[in-house]
Amino acid sequence: MPSLIVFVLVGFAAQMVDGSLGMAYGVTSSTLLVATGIGPAMASASVHFAEVGTTLISGASHWRFGNVDWRTVLLLGVPGAVGAFAGATVLSNLSTEAARPWMSAILLVLGVSLLVRFAVKGTRTDRHHLGFKSRFLAPLGLFAGFVDASGGGGWGPVATPTMLVSGRTEPRKVIGSVSASEFLVSVAASLGFLLNLGSQGIDWPIAGALLVGGAIAAPFAAWLVRRVAPRVLGTVVGAVIVITNSRTLFNQFGLEGAMRTLGYLAIVVGSVIAIVLAVRGSRRDREQSELITQTV
């Protein structure tokens, strides 16, 4: 019982991060399960079954708060489901660990780009009306879905920063749409694992505990993303991406001891500075907007 309560809390914390930043539920949960000795395929399968429920509630919550663009959900989510089914099949038969460092390097570059863009330059509003084209969303969804199922997580970390960098819609709509479309990805991945591993390949008590925690957190996270300033939101997303992917790269290059500590310290300090700049910039933008409104 105590261990299941821990997994409920993990599900709650992971969903708070995922629902408010558009990423990290699968990565956080899968990492913990693998650390406890569960195999990668079983860990990913259990997490994705939990996500069927959490993403449904999260998507509904984001829709309730006006954070979802349904055209984006379909154009991103349907290819994502295809990629997720393929990824689940691949993970059930072999490991994709060799590709993880390359993925982390790409995501790290995207994270740094988000940090700089949102902290220093702020958000672009002149492109929000453009929206996303299907030729951009379809391959992105296919790739992100495959990475998500085969790596135990990655839908949000791949899709969210890629869409935020383009600036074609406001950040809360990106996060809400990515969260809602993840339901399709989770269902497809779960089916893939079920067909390849069978029901014995899933730890049902842990999946249920993660689901309970995530279901409780989902409405709060959807509300939070509507309250946080877009400039600050984008910067925090960038910081999370940089911090989480730096660990994989440190491991890949054998960075240990004092050098590893200094590396993490530099990343955390840089992230804090970026967030402070984003908060100040957001306040300045709001004051300028209010001044313009009063003048008019």
Mean pLDDT of the 110-129 span: 66
224 pLDDT exceeds 80? no
- In this structure, of 18-22, 23-27, 93-97, 111-115, the range with the lowest mean pLDDT score is 93-97
Higher pLDDT, 231 or 24: 231
123 pLDDT exceeds 50? yes
Higher pLDDT, 139 or 252: 139
- In this structure, of 72-76, 222-226, 279-283, the range with the lowest mean pLDDT score is 222-226
pTM for this model (two decimals): 0.66
pLDDT tens column, 134-177: 888 999 999 888 887 776 667 877 888 788 777 777 778 888 89
Going by pLDDT thresholds of 50, 70 and 90, the confidence category of residue 208 is confident
Q: What pLDDT score does 142 carry?
A: 93
Burial class (CB in 10 A: 0-12, 13-18, 19+), 214: buried
pLDDT tens column, 49-105: 787 888 888 888 888 888 888 999 999 999 999 998 988 887 666 555 555 666 567
What torsion do the CA atoms of 219, 125, 138, 44 make, to the nearest 10 degrees?
-40
Rounded CA-CA distance 184/77 in Å is 6
